[in-house]
Amino acid sequence: MSSKIFGPVPVCVGSFSGAGNVGKLTTDRICASLGCQTQRSIVSPGFPPQVTVTIDGQVRLHQVELRSCPGREDLLFFSGDTQSLTPESMYGLAGEILEAARSWGSMDMITLAAYVGPSEDEIFGATTDPGLAEKLERSGISLLRNGIVGGLNGILVGLAPLYGMRGVPKRSNSKKTFLDLTKYGIFRSI
């Protein structure tokens, strides 16, 4: 992870399904390209009462996967199949993910998702830390100045300070059909 923005300590990056699955697909693509391996799977009773059918025709419960990459102790990824159905289960699952990230040594919780709205900017961010907001802007990430970050992607960054971490929601503009990840957004910081 770029020490220019987040420092030399581990960060936790990921997403849950949402608008267009931009964050989840990005997380899964990064994990595949870095050869990440699942370290832990979390199943929540708050997930919808259904299973996921895999590409090989098998079924499994919805889950959140925590993944690490060989040779990249500075990164921990999470990827969730779905959002929890109730606020209570969202807060419980967020606490479990944040506790796992804290035990990994993460100091930052970064969630990825789409930004749906009118703007010419490609990448947006916000943070729970004022000093980090300045670093995000200097790195070319436009700050979100209003709005809501919903679901688990929002709750994770909102609760992060209670676990000794900074929270950072990063959003990519959803108006394009393809986002060059090597030029913009997430890969710019990794």
Band the pLDDT of 177: cuts 50, 70, 90: very low
User: Which pLDDT score is estimated for 133?
Assistant: 86
- Report if pTM > 0.85: no
Superfamily of domain 11-189: PAC-like subunit (3.40.50.10900)
Per-residue pLDDT reduced to its tens digit, 76-121: 999 988 999 999 999 999 999 999 999 989 999 999 876 666 666 6
Residue 189 tokens, joined: 């910081």
Per-residue pLDDT reduced to its tens digit, 23-41: 788 888 889 999 999 999 9
Terminal C-alpha separation, the chain: 4
Element (H, E) at 185: none
Question: Tell me, what DSSP letter sits at residue 122?
Answer: S
Domain parsing of the chain, residue ranges: 11-189
Of 126, 107, 135, the C-alpha closest to 169 is: 126
How far apart CA 9 and CA 1 sit, in angstroms, is 9
Q: Which residues touch 140 (CB under 8 Å, ≥6 apart)?
A: 123, 188
How far apart CA 6 and CA 76 sit, in angstroms, is 14
